[in-house]
Structure 1
Amino acid sequence: MLRSLSDAGSTVVLITHATKNVAIADQVVFLAKGGRLAYVGPPKLALDYFQVQDFDAIYHKVEHQLSPQQWEERFKSSGYYKKFISERLLSLPQQNQAPAPVKPNLRQQLVVLCQRNLSILLKNKLSLALMLLGAPILGSLNFVLWKPDLFSTKTGNAGQAISTLFVVVVMAIMSGSLATMPEIAKERPIYKRERSVGLGLSPYLISKLVVAFVLAMYQSAVLLYLMLAAVEIPGADTNTGAMYFTLFLASFGSMVLGLIVSAIAPNPSVAPLMILIVLVFQIVFGGGIQPTENLNTNPNAKAVSELMLSKYSFENLVSLSRMGADVADDFCWQKGESRRKKLPALLIAQCNCYNKNVFTKCDFPGLGKIKRTSSLNNDLLKANLLIQSILDGYERVLYNDVSRNNWNLIYLIGGMIWILFMILFLKG
């Protein structure tokens, strides 16, 4: 069949160790160890050149009689080399100047890479299913973990309400980073080959970010919808869009983080172990497990936490939920305890979450669960302790600037994209 293709005008190159049909080839090449050229020419002349009776004997002779370097030198000094290589090279048309390399079209590369990423994703049903089902599965845990009335003033629980918001942020970061973790590590050999033939670094990186951007939009929408369906959050009516934007930044940022881990990992099997370490940092220094006020008292912990996507996303959700808005706006609670006690009765009467007004005008999760007694002072003490217990851990979160935190997230994501670019650039 191959002979027929050759006779029809096609160029056929065959690598083989079978010698029975070598004689029907036009040219044959024998290589010694290390790719050293031992012979090029017609098959029949090869038998004369090596002074053997059949082609099988050539293998044995090339392997044992001389070294690879000696075989190469022997062939180059022979007439066969001059006839079948040197003279043919001289007969080729000479070019005065090598053609200029074609400049790669970066825009076209980006389109092709995006199409290829989409095609690969659609063909890999299991990977696609994990990407699409990860957020719904994690988000469904909200129905199992939390009661719908966590934010209710009458029956809620302020501590669990804060935990709810932190867990949702962790879900966004976890589903995002795990989705992109294998992306670069699994195709590193292909990437290196394509880079060697003109693949631009920018189109490659942007193609990955485009997929991450679209996936982050989907995952954050699913997680937010399931959270709001499972738990009644007072600030959701007016701040749904802002909550979505915060979760989107957390999800997209974590996907960039996953790409960084994938670029650093020496092989795909190491990437999951590395991403686990990254996720532990996001959880520990995010402010949900170790309260933000505790982290802020330790300079080292504070410095690390300020590099965490989870910190800014969590703080934003707490502010946007409006769970402590009345306390944050309360004039009395903006003062220290010693100064509160010295405030005149007229000012205290204007505070919705302090003194007698706390049970009638203050909207704070769990205040209604305080069992009222005949002693108003004891009841007020319990209410103050409830509010103070949250302020001790999350006071700065209640006074958080959402816009500033969003910019901090954007700066973090931009910095991570630059780091990812440099890693890929340095690795070639």
Structure 2
Amino acid sequence: QALYYTARLRLPRDFTRAQIKQRINEVLDEVEIRYRRKHLVRNLSGGERKRVSIALELLANPSVFFLDEPTSGLDPGLERKMMLLLRKLTDKGHTIVLVTHATSNIFLCDFVCFLAPGGHLAFYGTPSQAQAYFGTNDFAEIYNRLETATNNKHAPEKIAENFKRSPYYQRYVQEPLNRELAEDHHEATLDTQPETPLRGYAARHPADRNVLETNLLISRPKRGRPWKQFSLLSRRYLRLLLHDGGNFLLLLLQAPIIGLILFYLAGSGTFDSTSITYCPLRANPLDTSGPVVSIDCKRVVDLLNSPVASLYVQKEGLTKQQALENAIAPDSGANAQTLLFIMAFAGVLFGCLNGIRAIVRENAIYRRERLVNLGIIPYMFSKILVLGILCFLQSAVLIYLVNLKTPLRGGIFLPILAEIYITLVLTTLAGLMLGLAISALAPNADRAMSFVPIVLIPQVIFSGIIFKLESPILQVLGALFPVRWAMAGLGSSVGLHGDKLGVDDFAYQGTHYTSLNPATAVPGATMHLLIVWGALVLTIAVLMVAIGLFLKRKDVRA
């Protein structure tokens, strides 16, 4: 599958599935690993993984390979097998340039190049000529001689100058350069068509023209259509998630586990009107020490709308609206606020953990594919689509379990479940973007995970629930965190009163007994909820741009 999806990305669009399968079989045979084609890459040995990496590059039939330490970490037997494989690929027409410090099989190479400290050319020629030039049969001794040059800062330049005076420099460096320059000048006078390396080579070697045309067809894939790349990458990432069964199961179980805990701990009437707004009403409203006969705020509203209300309001020196606000007991809805806060924080947590390793674990694959034809936008949105669906499911499961134990009540202009779901989904998606941004920025998975507490703890601090955000600076800082907006939306939908819960004025604005005439509160509460949703959408968009920029930074620069 790894080879198949890479082939779909790299090979020309007109390649059929049969042709792709044939090409995969060819490269598997070339690297002698066809017998392991059905195994997971993570279950392969180190040498086999290196062969898979070579097979991925062979799919596009490149004319030149650049390999960095292809035999590192291999035992002597596997090292020799790898070098023999590279030799075989060279004999088939590929040019392979490799960096290595393992010299036991160096005679399989056509040419060797030694660099002195600072990148100065110390030698270029055949392995046997290197032994003759340095006067030793031990290649390790050549390394020692070059390393001692670091004791004298002018020694590397002197080594390079000595090589320039040798016949090997004239034969392998100077003469080919002079010949190339002369041929290029001659062709420029005959043909105004721009020169390319392959075209120039074909002009000088007509017998190889057919081979070169085939290589040109395969090794220069056009950048695939974004939609095709997006579809292909989405399917590939979904398969990767499903194959990583343990991690995928943990992601799936997040919402059910948290939801079941809340199901067990939440009270059955947490979102009832008498829990959200608790209005102790006495038999005689003018008698503040009498027994409480009702806690329903509707009784207070009916009373304030009756002729008797004028006596009560006159005695207290209040307006009817102020009397309604005063009638609501402090800490009304505290349990609901706690439950909503856990849901909001869980949403950010779910999203962040979903995306925290999605990109960083593919750093090597991403960089390799970007060098060929991978687009940033299709790659980014393939992660967002697959993990976004997971966020939708997690939000639904969490709300379902909470609503099963303590039915959600309220709503401003939509059914309460719809409002809560929209707010929680946007919150979870914002958390996902936060996780993906960290994953795109971090150099490795361990560093990415170390960012989790740094970005999640401030979500609690600036939510406006634990600490009241009164100063303008704190208000601005709080606006940067999704949990802050999530609480503003969730609390407004169920009708929490911020002044009774010790939070700032911006936090909640609902229609639940905020006015003697609920209809007058609807426009303001509706606008408040729409602002909350807009802020969460803006957060998602900004983080999405950040993800793209962080991915762009990963591009290998020449």
Same fold (TM > 0.5): yes
Instruction: Check if 1:149 corresponds to 2:269.
Output: yes
The yes-or-no answer on 1:298 pairing with 2:458 is no
Equivalent-residue separation in structure 2 for 1:147 and 1:221 (angstroms): 20
SS in 1 for 2:343: helix
| Structure 2 Cα separation of the partners of residues 277 and 7 of structure 1 | 50
Residue in 2 that maps onto 1:346: none
Check 1:7–1:300 CA distance in 2 against 1; reply closer, same or farther (3 A cut).
closer
Match of 1:162 among 337, 342, 348: 337
Give the partner amino acid of 2:356. M
SS at match of 1:206: helix
2:417 maps to which of 214, 217, 240:
240
Q: 1:117 aligns with which of 223, 233, 237?
A: 237
Q: How far does residue 171 in structure 1 lie from its aligned partner after superposition?
A: 1.0
- Identify which of 246, 250, 262 aligns with 2:439: 262
Give the one of 23, 26, 31 matched to 2:114. 31
Query: Which of residues 385, 406, 410 in structure 2 aligns to 1:210?
Result: 385
Q: How does 1:158-237 map to 2 (within 5 A)?
A: 158-188=333-363, 190-192=365-367, 194-195=369-370, 199-235=374-410
1:327-355 deviations in Å (ceiling 9; x for gaps): 135349999xxxxxxxxxxxxxxxxxxxx
Query: 2:495 aligned with 1:411, yes or no?
Result: no
SS at match of 2:336: helix
- One-letter code of the match for 2:270? L
- Maintained 8 Å contact 1:110/1:204: yes
Q: How many Å separate the matches in 1 of 2:232 and 2:148?
A: 50
Letter in 2 for 1:312: W
- Contact 1:22-1:28 at 8 Å conserved across structures: no
Distance 1:154 1:20 in 2: 83
Structural RMSD (CA): 4.1
Gaps of 5+ in 2: 1-80, 189-193, 198-219, 277-331, 497-509
CA contact (8 A) 2:224 2:373 kept: no
* Cα distance change of structure 1 residues 18 and 196 upon mapping to structure 2, 3 Å threshold: closer
In structure 2, do the counterparts of structure 1 residues 6 and 40 end up closer, same or farther at CA, with 3 Å as the change threshold?
farther
Contact 1:106 1:200 in 2 (8 A): no
SS in 2 for 1:328: coil
Q: Which residue of 1 aligns with 2:323?
A: none
Distance 1:299 1:21 in 2: 69
Q: Quote the Cα distance in structure 2 between the aligned partners of 1:421 and 1:5.
A: 40
Q: 1:270 deviation in Å?
A: 3.7
Q: Which residue of 1 aligns with 2:124?
A: 40
Number of the residue aligned with 2:223: 104
Contact 1:180–1:212 under 8 Å retained in 2: yes
1:343-381 CA-partner distances (Å, limit 9, x unpaired): xxxxxxxxxxxxxxxxxxxxxxxxxxxxxxxxxxxxxxx
CA contact (8 A) 2:266 2:406 kept: yes
Change (3 A) 1:397 1:278: farther
Larger RCO (CA within 8 A; separation ≥ 6): 1
Instruction: State the identity %.
Output: 29
The residue identity in structure 1 corresponding to 2:159 is: W
1:421, distance to aligned residue in structure 2 (A)? 3.3
CA 1:397 to 1:427, structure 2 compared with 1: closer, same or farther past 3 Å?
A: farther
In 2, Cα distance between equivalents of 1:303 and 1:61 = 62
- 1:108-141 deviation digits (Å, cap 9, x = unpaired): 4434443443343233333222221122222221
Q: Do the aligned partners of residues 284 and 104 (structure 1) sit closer, same or farther apart at CA in structure 2, a change above 3 Å counting?
A: same
Aligned-pair CA distance for 1:250? 0.6
* CA distance in 2 between partners of 1:53 and 1:303 (Å): 71
Q: Does 1:82 align with 2:257?
A: no
Give the C-alpha shift of residue 29 in structure 1: 0.8
Which of the residues 480, 486, 499 maps onto 1:307?
480
- Counterpart code for 1:212: L
How far apart are the structure 2 equivalents of 1:328 and 1:399?
A: 13
Shift of 1:403: 2.9
Counterpart residue number, 2:254:
134
Q: Tell me how far apart the structure 2 counterparts of residues 278 and 397 of structure 1 sit (CA, whole Å).
A: 32
**Residue identity matched to 1:217:** F
Contact 1:319–1:397 (CA under 8 A) maintained in structure 2: no
1:321 to 480, 490, 494: 494
SS of the residue 1:307 aligns to:
coil
In structure 2, what residue type is equivalent to 1:83? R
CA distance in 1, matches of 2:99, 2:358: 34
- Using the TM superposition, give the Cα deviation of residue 397 of structure 1 relative to its aligned residue in structure 2, in angstroms: 10
Please say if 1:282 is aligned against 2:459: yes
How far did 1:28 drift? 3.5
Q: Which amino acid aligns with 1:175?
A: F
Could you give the per-residue CA deviations for residues 137-184 of structure 1, whole angstroms, max 9, x where no partner exists? 222211232122223457887321222122111111111112212334
Q: Counterpart of 1:214 in structure 2: which amino acid? A: I
Q: How many residues align?
A: 363
Change (3 A) 1:53 1:260: closer
Going from structure 1 to structure 2, the CA distance change for 1:29 and 1:425 (only over 3 Å counts) comes to closer
Unaligned 5+ residue runs, structure 1? Answer: 336-395
TM-score (norm 1): 0.69
Q: Hey, what's the Cα distance between the residues in 1 that align with 2:111 and 2:162? A: 17
Looking at structure 2, the residues matched to 271 and 238 of structure 1 have their Cα atoms a distance apart, in angstroms, of 39
Shift of 1:41: 3.2
Q: Secondary structure at the match of 2:124?
A: strand
- 1:342-353 pair list within 5 angstroms: none
Residue 162 and residue 119 in structure 1: after superposition, are their counterparts in 2 closer, same or farther (change >3 A)? same
Cα contact 2:345–2:460 (8 A) shared by 1: yes
Shift of 1:32: 3.7
